[in-house]
Each structure stands twice: as C-alpha cells, then as structure tokens.
Amino acid sequence: MAAASEHSLANAELQNVELEDIPAQPFEDELLSLIWKFLESPGNVLLVQGAPGTGKTTLALELLRRVKGTRIGPREISANKVYVSSRISPIKFRRHFPGVHEVIDSMSGKGLAGAWTEGEDNARLSGAGTNIVHRILAMKRAKQKGIVVIDSWEGAVRNLIEEERRSLESAIFSELDDSKLGAVLVSEGERASNLTHLVDGITTLSMSRLEGRVVRSIMVDKLRGFRLRRQGALFTLDRGRFTPLPRVGFHLDGDLSETPKIPAIVPHSEAAYSTGSEDLDKLLQGGVKKGSSVLIDLNSTVSPRVGIILIDIITANFINQGGSAFIVPYSIFSSQTVADSMRRYVGNTALNERVRIAEYNQGLPDEEWRVKMKGKIEEDIPILNKCWNQLGAISTSRMMKFDFDKLAQVYGEAVGVPSLAEIGAGIRESAAFMMAVVSRPTMMREELQRSVDYYLKTQTVDESLLIYGIKPFSNVHGAEFTFERGYPHLSLMEIV
C-alpha cells in the first residue's frame, strides 16, 4: 500500500514538469549549488530521504537536469543520464525528460530508449536486478561523466534475491571514483537507516504546517568533504521545479543606492491601490481596495531593516502616483531616518509637499515634512486631523501609515483601542489607504486583527522571509528583494 502511495505521489510530482520550456532558477541558491558540486565530484553517492509527498523525486530530477557534458575544444560530449524508476511510469518520464539517455524500470529491468510499448511498461520480468547492474557497470567502464538516479532504492531491491541485491550495492557503492559517475538514491522512507553508513551525502526533505499552510524544508545532514555554512533551507515545488527560497541575507547585500533609478510605477486600478509589487497585489487578490486598511504583522524574527524596505516599497509606489502620506515611524527609527529613506525613492519635492512624518522629540529642527507631536492624545489628535485635512487638499489619494507599537509606547494601549473604529470609518469615507504595522502582542494588535480589511503576517525561517495572508487567506510565499537599479523590488515565490 505504501509503495502504491509513493508511486502516485511521484507521478503527481511529475505532472507539471516540462524540462525544456522552464527557464533557469531565478537565482543560484548556495545550498543547492553545494549539493551539485558534491555530485560533480566523481564517486559521490547522495541519499535523498523524506516522507511521501515531500518532493524527493522533484529534487532528484532537478539534480539530473543540471548534469552537463564534457567540453573538448568546440565539441561537447554529453553526460550519461540514467534514471532507474520504480515510482514513475517510464513512458511518462521519457515524455517529460527527453534529454535523459535511458530510463530503466526497476521492476522489469527493461530500458526505455525509444522502443518501449505500453504493454512492456507493465511487464515484470525475471533478472531485473541483473539488467540494472549490467547497465551501471557498462557506464562505469565507459569512464564518461554521468549520473545514475535510482528512484526508489527500496523499489529497486524489493524483488531481488540476496545475491542480486549485493551485486547492485557493489555496482553503486564501489569504484565510482575512477568511473566519473555520481549517484542519487531516493528512499521511500523518512529515515533510511540501512543506507546512511554507505552513502557520502544525505539530504532530508520534510513538510510542515504554518497556520494550516504548507512549508517545505530541506536539511543537508552530511556532504563528505564539503564545509556547510548552513544546513537548512525552505523550498517550493511551484511549476514542478525544486526551487529553494531566496535568503534575506542574500538580497540585502544589494546596493541601496542614494540616487536610485526609480522604475515604472505599478499603477493603481480604478477600485484598488497597488502595493508596488505585482506579486503582493496578486496575493491580496487585486491590491488594496480604496477606503481599506492593511495590517502587516512583523514577527520578532524579521529584521527591522527588512521591515522598512517592505514598507518603503508600498509607500513610495503610492506617493509616486501623486498620493500623500502621514507616517508614524517604525518604532526603532526616527523621523529623520524615515525621511532619508523615502527621499531616495520619491525625491525631495514630493517628500516636502506630500509627506508628513510624526516626531515626538521636540528638540529636533523644523522640516517641511516633520510634524512635532506632543505625546498626549488629547493634544495630538487635533494635530493629526489638521495634517490629514491639509494632505486631502493637496491630493485626493491619501495614506495613513501607523506603527501601532510606537503609538502604544507613547499613548498607552487603553487610549488607542477605542479610537481604532473611528479611524477606520474616516479611512473608508475618504477612500484612503491605512497601513498598520505591529510586531508585539498588545491590545491594539488584537483589536486591529479584528477590524482591518487585510491582514498579512511575516516571519523569517532558515534565513528566508515568509509572507502569507490571513485576510484574505493565502499560501505561504517566500519574499525576494532585488536591487538591479538601486531601488528595491519585491517578488514572491509561492510554496506549493
């Protein structure tokens, strides 16, 4: 029963794979590159283990896809690629992977090299193990660069007698170094304890749930001879490709230029405001409807630097389309820091004319964009209302961006909660855009969760920034920030 389930899952993993039509990975992941370098070292055997449905076959196919030939002058000698399958129909596999030289059905030992019929696909012939061993030994004698994938190991040895099993193990595990071959063994179980002492590398795939949403992880348990800076990463199987999620540390090495070349805006629609990211607009099912409020919950694992870049993208896209904004800064940043950040993306004129930033330090010098608050709710509400009305006279599109942790710190939680409904009503009436940011568990946070129209959560796991929607519900997405023009751009990769 378990074997049948594994077979179905493996076929399901193959459904959306189109080898020749899918472009290269959007970026080169450090961990996947290291696994590939390990396999390029002749003689190394990699074990891929994990529960059914975790993506083992997709990873094996990704590694198979990466095998390149040997170039001799202007000519390239293609690498040998052999896939021994007990979990995927050879005919279906060959249809999706025409570049693989040979597909062998581990149950029959028959090879598919072009003349395979549907009847033979289901054949179960004696001597299957012997045929597989002979094919592997022939590859070793050829001393040509190549890779053998056995998917799965348990399926390959299930019907073998002891002598055939020992022959197969010998063919895989002995003298691969001289033959220029590498091997990938896919295990049907979460832990293949009977193989761990034989292989040179071990990767474990797993699948967990984050508030009911799928999260996929890869853990590299060992790669003999290679130093691992990190052992784990998250990944997606979107479009049938094994794609690790970008790392936060990787994207923030990009250059945040003081004079970025601002790209074309992501335009608002007639009914909704864009966030400045087409992918984030899609997650929100078309952007933020005019007159609505958005709560962005920044988990304690999310760097403040990442948080301010995300917020800057949304705010700058709004201002660059003629909008105006009143901003209560992110709790650990001053009004000057926020102004300097926004100036890069909207210019000095727009900052002075259409942006107002709250400041609770009375000692700072006056600026056109700076609004000095008193720190007392009864005195600051009139100041806020005056600014809001002034911005309305300048632009019909207005944004109110609050860090509610800052408000709770200044005014106390009990003061702020009753006023949230009133603020929300004003936003709706003026068809404005309210963005609320929280990171700590407060009474305000609980009230906001109930009252906002859109609710996004963020957190960092294995160095990847995750974003997912509570309102509306969405799968978990990995965030990638790029800085090709010195200006941050946000892309999302859905975990499926």
What CATH number does the domain containing 288 carry? Answer: 3.40.50.300
Tokens of 113: 């090299």
**Same structural domain for residues 277 and 393?**
yes
| The pLDDT value given to residue 120 | 37
Residues 283, 274 contacting (CB under 8 angstroms): no
According to the model, what pLDDT value does residue 23 have? 40
Residues 357 and 233 in one domain: no
204 lies in the same domain as 341: no
pLDDT of residue 484: 75
Q: How many Å apart are CA 147 and CA 184, to the nearest integer?
A: 8
**pLDDT of the residue at 342:** 92
146 forms beta bridges with 80, 181
Tokens read off for 357: 């930033």
The low-confidence residues of the chain, meaning pLDDT below 50, are 1, 4, 12, 14-27, 112, 114-127, 250, 253, 418
> Domain limits at 380?
272-494
Residues 23, 162, single domain; the answer is yes
Domain count, the chain: 2
In this structure, the answer to whether residues 77 and 132 fall within a common structural domain is yes
Instruction: Report the pLDDT value the prediction gives residue 126, as an integer from 0 to 100.
Output: 36
**Beta sheet of 232-236, edge-to-edge order:** 111-112, 102-105, 80-85, 146-151, 181-186, 45-50, 201-210, 213-223, 232-236, 243-244
pTM for the predicted model, two decimal places = 0.85
Q: What's residue 325's pLDDT?
A: 97
Tell me: do 227 and 317 sit in the same domain. Answer: no
pLDDT of the residue at 76: 64
Helix (H, G, I), strand (E, B) or coil at 362: coil
Q: What is residue 292's predicted lDDT score, i.e. its pLDDT?
A: 95
pLDDT of amino acid 18: 40
